[in-house]
Amino acid sequence: MARRKLAAGNWKMNGDLATLAEIDALCAEHPEPGCEVLICPPAVLIHAMKARTADCPIAIGGQDCHHAVSGAHTGDISAHQLKDAGASYVILGHSERRAHHGETDADVAAKAAAAHEAGLIAIICVGETEAQRDAGETLDIIASQMAGSIPEQATARNTVIAYEPVWAIGTGRTPTNDQIAEVHALMRDRLQARVADAADVRLLYGGSVKPGNATEIFAIAHVDGALVGGASLKASDFGGIVAALQASG
Ligand code: PGA
């Protein structure tokens, strides 16, 4: 199975109904993108975005889900509810969730299992802090986050892994190509032990991806696309990243 490239946008807590005009522009510019295009808006926009993209091959995802199917969890959203609203993906274990909500690898694995159960593709995020990189711990951190965050039933069909160095998110700083290549090679290697079809699992890079650096990043071995925050909010920026991914072949 060839790995289908994926340009994934994470809107975080940005956007409202008026912002969906950006999706219209993206669809108009890339009616047949030649790679998979995903937008993960705030959950309240999923249903409207789904309706708005009926004629456009843009996939929609959530940014988190609860591990339970339903119940007394005020403020939380289940994987089934995301799916029901029109999502086909969910981002899990983003560093902002790990840092601001204390999510552990075990929490992420439980959420990913719930996402799989609901028929969602889980984008599981891993990444080192700057202090961990400076201490030479990057590869150990990535390996241990992968070991703890990827659930038993993960396959290439239901799981994508995103490498997002915490220090590169929203900072305009990116690792060197060699640093990205080193981590992505490790991720591919570590997947062999966990997933039968490891060679087919898509691996994304995330952290300050922009139209200006996307081509270079997409040329790195084992980089099958990007998870994009700030530059996913404007169709002109995200469209440039989609075009770069398409051109990367
Ligand atoms: P950024 O965010 O592209 O704004 O750096 C990436 C992310 O958090 O997924």
Identify the CATH number of the domain in which residue 174 sits. Answer: 3.20.20.70
In 3D space, the residue among 93, 80, 82, 240 whose CA is nearest the CA of residue 161 turns out to be 93
Determine the average pLDDT of the residues in 4-22.
97
Average pLDDT over residues 1-12: 93
Residue 232, domain member (yes or no): yes
| 184 is a catalytic site residue | no
Q: Tell how far the Cα of 71 is from the centroid of ligand 1, in angstroms.
A: 31
Residue 44 lies in a domain: no
What is the C-alpha separation between 87 and 123, in angstroms, rounded?
13
Q: Is 119 in the pocket of ligand 1 (CB under 6 A)?
A: no
| 67 in any annotated domain | no
Query: In 3D, which of 241, 248, 235, 242 has the Cα closest to residue 26?
Result: 235
Q: Whose CA is nearest to atom 3 of ligand 1?
A: 229
Choose the catalytic residue: 66, 94, 184, 222.
94
Residue 121 is assigned to a structural domain of this protein = yes
The answer to whether residue 18 is domain-embedded is no
Q: What value does the mean pLDDT take over residues 117-130?
A: 98
Catalytic residue among 22, 67, 164, 222: 164
Please list, in sequence order, all residues whose beta carbon lies within 8 angstroms of the beta carbon of residue 141, skipping any fewer than 6 positions away. 126, 128, 132
pLDDT score at 189 = 97
Under 8 Å CB-to-CB from 249, ≥6 apart: which residues? none
By the 8 A CB rule, do 168 and 162 touch? no
Does the C-beta of 229 come closer than 6 Å to ligand 1?
yes
Mean pLDDT of the residues in the chain: 97
Concerning whether 116 is annotated as a catalytic residue, the answer is: no
Residue 27 lies in a domain: no
Q: Tell me what percent of the residues of the chain surpass a pLDDT of 70.
A: 100
List the domain range (segments joined by +) for residue 154: 78-249
Q: Which residues of 187-221 are buried (b: 16+ CB within 10 A; e: fewer)?
A: bbebbeeebeebebbbbbbbbbbbbebbeebbebe
172 lines ligand 1 (CB under 6 A): no
Residue 117 near residue 159, CB atoms below 8 Å: no
Alpha helices for the chain (secondary structure H): 21-29, 46-52, 79-85, 95-100, 105-117, 130-134, 138-149, 177-194, 211-218, 235-247
pLDDT in tens, 187-223: 999 999 889 999 999 999 999 999 999 999 999 999 9
Ligand 1: distance of its center to the CA of 119 in Å?
Answer: 25
Flag whether pLDDT at 3 surpasses 90: yes
Instruction: Say which residue, 187 or 32, is predicted with more confidence.
Output: 187
At residue 24, the pLDDT reads: 96
Helix, strand or coil, per DSSP, at residue 156:
coil
Cβ–ligand 1 contact at 241 (below 6 Å): no
Number of domains in the chain: 1
Q: What is the pLDDT of residue 1?
A: 65
Region 17-22: mean pLDDT is 96
Whether 106 is covered by a domain: the verdict is yes
Answer yes or no: is 1 within a domain: no
Among protein residues, the one with the nearest Cα to ligand 1's atom 7 is: 229
- pLDDT tens by residue, 54-113: 999 999 999 999 999 999 999 999 999 999 999 999 999 999 999 999 999 999 999 999
CA distance linking residue 121 with residue 90, whole number of Å: 6
